[in-house]
Structure 1
Amino acid sequence: MSRPRHALLLLAAGGSRRLGEPKQLLRLAGESLVRRAARLGLATAPAEAVVVCGAHADAVWRELADLPVRRIDCDTWAAGLGDSLATGLRALSGDIDGALVLLCDQPALDAAHLQALRDAWQGDPARAAASAYAGVLGVPALLPRAWFARLAAGGHDQGARDLLRARAADVQAIDAPALAQDLDTPEQARAVTGTSLGANQGEE
């Protein structure tokens, strides 16, 4: 029996209003956060990989253009994370069984955790596998295809989080407390990257 096929869905459309600069382009150990997230996601061997761009789209895409990922633009990115998620889900192929949803602003993300999510979901692909941190279920998460239609309709400001909470009985939780670390303010970003904002970022 063949294993279920998952897609990588990297949401990289946000405007980083509180931060004041695109967090997708912040660098950790010389690598932009968006490229790092894409690289770690690709290590799960997805059947396809989609990156949703919005604010700073061209600058973000320059970080990824040599990777085996497909760019999808979300014109309504400013409406919230839910619109980016909906745009990405609608772009996935019809033979995909699940979507590994990633963000760019989790510097503690690692390949081992993503592979644990993938393995848990592959063992029971009718259920989701989600990260557990700070008392919530959140992304990264591998969502089953049966959830796509509801999320693809949009209107979910928190992306998949509300649905993960509502359907907690159908979610396999994988602990990842370090993923609670935020990159929303200049002080938080400086603490993680060790540099002042703007020091390592290219021009759009």
Structure 2
Amino acid sequence: MTDSKNKTGIIILAAGSSSRLGEPKQLLAYNNTNLLKNTLTAANLVLNAAVILVTGSNRKLIEEQLDSTQIKISFNADWESGMSSSIVKGINDLLLILPDAEKCIVSVCDQPFISNSVFESLLEKYHKTQKGIVASAYAETLGTPVLFDRKYFKELLHLKGKEGAKKIINKFLNDTVAVPFKKGNIDIDTQEDYNRLIYKP
């Protein structure tokens, strides 16, 4: 999964219970696979990146479908407290397996149009601009996936409750650059969202 040149982590957040959907969104059929595996495939195509999947609710159901030789599976026992706990768990585990990590990308599992090129465009912009935060831009906002330089790891580790990566983006906008992510605004929270994705005209 990693090698000595590896300085990048990709943390995929998949701990939520999908309460508005009524079933685990991670396992919804999509693109001849499911939403979670679609995201993991994209992440695994990024060269020299350590991929960490943070699970929580429905842990066994999700983990039994995965190949743990390609990724590091990280269980967040505190998932009910909000997204911040999964980010904290992901960063802590990244630093355990990759103590000299220079940067990490925080991603979610329910953006169906994610691809390895989205992740790679964040990395390219990071190297080109030397900015500390590279966020995806869609629907007049900045969001996931988002890359953070190591200097922001401490900020991420201090997130609480339902706070997410956007809090850090907004706090350090002067050190943030955007990369367009077409259809990044499409995510799956409800059955209606999923129906629109699957049964689009």
TM-score by length of 2: 0.89
TM-superposed deviation, 1:111: 2.0
Maintained 8 Å contact 1:13/1:55: yes
Partners of 2:163 and 2:188 in 1: how far apart?
A: 16
TM-superposed deviation, 1:156: 5.2
Partners of 1:126 and 1:172 in 2: how far apart?
A: 7
The equivalent position to 1:30 in structure 2, one of 29, 32, 43, is 32
Amino acid at match of 1:87: K
Give 1:147's aligned residue. Answer: 152
TM-superposed deviation, 1:143: 0.9
Amino acid at match of 2:75: D
Amino acid at match of 2:51: A
The equivalent position to 1:132 in structure 2, one of 95, 118, 137, is 137
TM-superposed deviation, 1:3: 7.8
Partners of 2:10 and 2:65 in 1: how far apart?
A: 17
Give 2:101's aligned residue. Answer: 96
State how 1:12-91 maps to structure 2 within 5 Å: 12-91=14-93
TM-superposed deviation, 1:58: 1.5
Partners of 2:117 and 2:77 in 1: how far apart?
A: 33
TM-score by length of 1: 0.87
Give 5+ residue unaligned stretches, structure 1: 195-204
Amino acid at match of 1:33: L
Give 1:117's aligned residue. Answer: 122
Q: What is the DSSP-based 3-state SS (H/G/I as helix, E as strand, rest coil) of the residue aligned with 2:183?
A: helix
Partners of 1:100 and 1:43 in 2: how far apart?
A: 14
Q: Please list the CA deviations of residues 100-137 of structure 1 after superposition, one character each: whole Å capped at 9, or x if unmatched.
A: 11111101212222111111123345511110112221
The percent of aligned pairs where both chains have the same amino acid is 27
CA RMSD of aligned residues (A): 2.1
TM-superposed deviation, 1:10: 0.8
Give 1:198's aligned residue. Answer: none
Q: What is the DSSP-based 3-state SS (H/G/I as helix, E as strand, rest coil) of the residue aligned with 1:178?
A: coil
The equivalent position to 1:176 in structure 2, one of 178, 181, 185, is 181
Maintained 8 Å contact 1:125/1:144: no
TM-superposed deviation, 1:30: 1.9
Aligned residues: 194
Maintained 8 Å contact 2:131/2:176: no
Give 5+ residue unaligned stretches, structure 2: none
